[in-house]
């Protein structure tokens, strides 16, 4: 079975661990969000790709969900001693090596997809990890701060501001001109199932869908497209998805996210058991819906979630 | 008193510490060798400039003579885990931060001289540290290995090969087209004394002199130019200066190095007391010469050496 998964960072990565356990024989291609990539200290940092790679490769800081286990911060401290920031972005020494290799390869002319493949040769994530695009796309968030409207990089909004000011708009800068990375459209066309994990529907999956051609390819793939709600009981499971949902005019609820994707794209949707009363509404919108436990508290529960998603896909197909 | 010093790495840096102690009121400008600069992992590394900066700024690994004190090697280990080398060059985590800042600033368009000034704002070396040039100059060594002649980067010859194969030629690639960095010629023209510390006469001071305009400016400055022999008793005090002296057809002796510089450039020369019998020959070549202890075993002995050099300069001037 060929499964294509659109993934952001922590939520997508943890779900993928469950999916690998639920479908150990499957051929899984992950299309990773690169809209939150950022250049720091002259280095190209790809937080979402790295979170997937480290999580599936056994290098992730488990409690934190991002960054490397057993991390140290010598380089960052030294950069601060030079007065060079930002200090709000937590790059550790082990992590720095990844960004140094990536930046060196990009400087030598390799596209991000080739670099990602090279990095994965070490981590052996057990999936094929593709960036959504080799072209630079940068998610900016329009906020009002100090009485003026300004656009800040998504990481600045998310990490430095902790989404504490309202997001007025979310703009994937460069997306219109971006092309899907080599292999992305081919993987979608060859997929048996397409899955939207409980990643952020705006700044993760939404950004991937903003790359021209990807949304269309999914809609036209003719295979079940199933998703898992990142919202449980009207609040995001983790992160601050509600903040950016507001910016795109979508209510923070499991049902609203499903109809935001829409029945033109989505065939099946899993909501948590606490949101069982949303099932009827989602189904009325033309999307098959089931209520199952959606908290990824450990590998077992996550594996069960992935199995439910695959079961729902088969139900849709049949 | 305005003193200009041409410096390589360890020898030059240690001498400078003595010079600062010997002439605490002096205005010292250091023209640093950049011929052994190397790009590693996509980062610009300037070993000689950094050795001077760390030594005078209190950050040097004292026993080793290069690199940072209390160093760790996490980034390097991680790069090796990605299969990215070279492994023979010992970049530590603290050191990496320096190269990251430098590379970022150069990428943003700053010349190396401005970058060096910015890095020194942290280290406060107590001297004005200028790279010999903002242009890229790279010392290559012609060697015969595996039956074929090839040119290797100086660092590869020095650090990886440990100068174990004969150097047939030393070529400062790019030197002819390089321009002295801003401030270099001005500092030489304004100097009261110019000093050649016991740095490598070929790959350190020789490379600086290979930048068009610097040798001429020193010869025409009309002020005493005094040097200290890096060779004691026919062997280099440290390093492998004898290997590269052979490549330029110069005998490894205190007297031969003096005549290699020549009386057109050098007015005074200090040899070690064990080389006292070389004094007459050097003086016969038109260079004032004295035999004094030249082992930089601690700050006191180094300070005395610096004082002897300044005394010799005054003797030449009178």
**Would an 8 Å CB–CB cutoff place A166 in contact with chain B?**
no
For residues B113 and B134, is the Cβ–Cβ distance under 8 A? yes
Contact list in A for residue B107 (CB cut-off 8 A) is 42
B83 vs A contacts (CB less than 8 Å): 121-122
Q: CA nearest B294: which of B258, B263, B262, B267?
A: B258
pLDDT at B267: 98
- The owner of tokens 């795109």 is A248
Cβ A30 vs Cβ A181: under 8 Å: no
Spatial separation of the C-alpha atoms in residues B273 and A141, rounded to whole Å: 71
A33 touches A48 (CB < 8 A): yes
Residue with tokens 């036209």, as numbered in its chain = A220
Give CA–CA dist B309/B186, Å, rounded. Answer: 22
Which residues in chain A show pLDDT less than 50? none
- For A115-172, the pLDDT digits (tens) are 999 999 999 999 999 999 999 999 999 998 778 899 999 999 988 888 888 899 999 9
Which residue in the set B74, B82, B122 is minimally distant from A81, CB to CB? B122
- Which of B81, B93, B119 minimises the CB distance to A122? B81
CA distances, B307 to each of B17, B24, B91, B280 (Å): 12, 11, 35, 22
Which of A97, A99, A93, A129 shows the shortest CA–CA distance to A113?
A129
Structure-block tokens of residue A302: 């996550």
Distances (CA, A) of B254 to A197, B228, B236, B313: 73, 9, 9, 18
Whether A104 and B41 lie within 8 Å, measured CB to CB: yes
- Of A43, A45, A70, A74, which to mutate for an interface test with B (greatest number of B Cβ within 10 Å)? A74
Stretch 36-65 of chain A: residues touching chain B, C-beta under 8 Å:
41-43
CB contact, 8 Å: B84 with chain A?
yes
Q: Where are the beta strands (DSSP E) in chain A?
A: 2-7, 27-32, 38-40, 43-45, 128-131, 138-145, 148-153, 167-173, 193-196, 225-228, 231-232, 235-236, 268-271, 288-291
- Give residue B17's pLDDT: 98
Phi-psi region at B213: left, alpha or beta (left = phi > 0; alpha = psi -120 to 50): left
- The residue of chain A with its CA nearest to that of B122 is A82
The structure's pTM equals: 0.94
Contact check, Cβ <8 Å, B82/A74? no
The Cα–Cα gap between B82 and B80 comes to: 5
From the list B96, B108, B122, which residue is nearest A75 (CB)?
A: B96
Residues B281, B300: Cα–Cα separation, whole Å: 29
Choose from A69, A100, A101 for mutation: most chain B CBs within 10 A. Answer: A100
Q: Which of B93, B103, B107 shows the shortest C-beta gap to A75?
A: B93
The sign of the torsion formed by the CA atoms of A128, A132, A138, A141 equals: negative
- What is the rounded CA–CA span in Å between residue A226 and residue A222? 12
Number of neighbouring beta carbons within 10 Å of residue B144: 12
Rounded Cα distance, B36 and B26, in Å = 28
The per-residue pLDDT for A78 is 97
- CB neighbours of residue A146 within 10 Å: 6
Do B78 and A97 lie within an 8 Å CB cutoff? yes
Can you give the pLDDT at residue B163? 87
Picking from B41, B50, B68, B74 by the largest number of A CB atoms within 10 A of its own CB, the best residue to mutate is B74
| Tokens 């250049």, located at residue | A39
Of B74, B96, B118, nearest to A94 by CB-CB distance is B74
For residue A221, give the 3-state DSSP assignment. Answer: coil
| DSSP string over chain B | -EEEEEE-SHHHHHHHHHHHHH-TT-EEEEEE--TT-EEETTEEE-HHHHHHHHHHHT-B-TTTSSSBTT---HHHHHHHHTT---SSS---HHHHHHHHHHHHHHHTT--HHHHHHHHHHHH--SSEEEESBSS--EEEEEEEETTEEEEEEHHIIIIISTT-S-EEEEEEETTTT--BPTTHHHHHHH-SEEEE-SS-TTTTHHHHHTSTTHHHHHHTS-S-EEEE-SEETTEESSTTHHHHHHHTT--SSHHHHHHHH-TTT-SEEEE-GGGGGGHHHHHHTT-EEEE------SHHHHHHHHHHHHHHHHHHH-
* Separation of alpha carbons A227 and A128, rounded Å: 20
The nearest alpha carbon in chain B to A108 belongs to B42
Report the 10 Å Cβ neighbour count for B33.
Answer: 33
**pLDDT value of residue A240:** 77
Distance of CA B207 to the CA centre of its chain: 9
Long-range contacts of A55-62 (CB under 8 A, 24+ apart): A55/A10, A55/A13, A55/A14, A55/A16, A55/A17, A55/A125, A56/A13, A56/A16, A56/A17, A56/A20, A56/A123, A56/A125, A56/A126, A56/A127, A57/A120, A57/A122, A57/A123, A57/A124, A57/A125, A58/A123, A59/A94, A59/A123, A60/A13
Q: What confidence tens digit (pLDDT) does each residue in A213-224 have?
A: 999 999 999 999
Report the alpha-carbon angle B275-B277-B279, nearest 5. Answer: 85
DSSP A287: -
Question: With DSSP H G I counted as helix, E B as strand and the rest as coil, what are the percentages for chain A, rounded to 5?
Answer: 40, 20, 40
Query: How far is residue B245 from each of residues A290, A296, B6, measured CA to CA in Å?
Result: 81, 68, 18
Put simply, whether B79 touches A (Cβ < 8 Å) is yes
Within 8 A of A75 by CB-CB distance, chain B residues are 75, 93-94, 96-97, 100
Nearest to B97 among A72, A79, A107 (CB): A79
A116 touches B: beta carbon within 8 Å:
no
| Chain B positions in Cβ-Cβ contact with residue A83 (cut-off 8 Å) | 121-122
Is some CB atom of chain A closer than 8 A to the CB atom of B124? Answer: no
For B115, phi and psi rounded to 5 degrees? -65, -45
B146–chain A nearest CA distance, Å: 29
- Which residue of A lies nearest to B40 if distances are taken between CA atoms? A104
Return the pLDDT at B105: 97
Backbone φ and ψ of A317, nearest 5°:
-65, -35
CB pairs under 8 A between A and B: 85
Q: Is A222 left (phi over 0), alpha (psi -120 to 50) or beta?
A: left
Cβ atoms < 10 Å from Cβ of B208: 29
Q: Does A117 touch chain B (CB under 8 A)?
A: no
Q: Give me the residue label for tokens 């595996």.
A: B146
Q: Are A33 and A184 in contact (CB under 8 A)?
A: no
- A267-291 pLDDT, tens digit each: 999 999 999 999 999 999 999 999 9
Closest CA to B279 of B294, B290, B268: B290
Q: What is the mean pLDDT of each run of 10 residues along chain B (318 residues)?
A: 96 97 98 97 97 98 95 97 92 98 97 98 98 97 88 91 89 96 98 97 96 98 97 82 88 96 97 97 98 95 98 96
């Amino acid at each position: 079975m060929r499964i294509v998964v659109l993934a952001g960072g922590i939520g997508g990565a943890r779900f993928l661990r469950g999916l690998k356990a639920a479908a150990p024989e499957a051929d899984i291609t992950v299309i990773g969000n690169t809209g939150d990539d950022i250049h720091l200290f002259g280095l190209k940092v790809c937080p979402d790709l790295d979170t997937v790679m480290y999580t599936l490769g056994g290098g992730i800081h488990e409690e934190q969900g991002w960054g490397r286990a057993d991390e140290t911060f010598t380089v960052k401290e030294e950069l601060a001693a030079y007065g060079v920031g930002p200090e709000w972005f937590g790059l550790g020494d082990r992590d720095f090596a990844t960004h140094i290799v990536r930046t060196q390869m990009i400087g030598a002319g390799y596209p991000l997809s080739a670099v990602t493949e090279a990095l994965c040769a070490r981590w052996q994530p057990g999936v094929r990890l593709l960036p959504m695009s080799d072209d630079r796309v940068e998610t900016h968030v329009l906020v009002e701060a100090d009485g003026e409207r300004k656009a800040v990089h998504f990481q600045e909004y998310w990490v430095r501001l902790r989404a504490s000011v309202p997001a007025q708009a979310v703009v994937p800068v460069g997306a219109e001109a971006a092309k899907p990375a080599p292999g992305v459209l081919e993987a979608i066309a060859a997929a048996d199932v397409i899955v939207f994990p409980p990643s952020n529907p705006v700044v993760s999956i939404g950004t991937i869908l903003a790359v021209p051609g990807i949304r269309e390819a999914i809609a036209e793939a003719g295979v079940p497209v199933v998703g898992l709600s990142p919202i449980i009981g009207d609040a995001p499971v983790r992160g601050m998805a509600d903040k950016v949902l507001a910016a795109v005019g979508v209510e923070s609820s499991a049902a609203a996210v499903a109809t935001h994707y829409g029945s033109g794209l989505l065939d099946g949707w899993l909501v948590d058991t606490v949101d069982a009363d949303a099932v009827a509404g989602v189904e009325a919108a033309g999307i098959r819906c089931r209520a199952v436990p959606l908290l990824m508290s450990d590998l077992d529960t996550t594996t069960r979630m992935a199995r439910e998603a695959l079961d729902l896909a088969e139900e849709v197909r049949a």
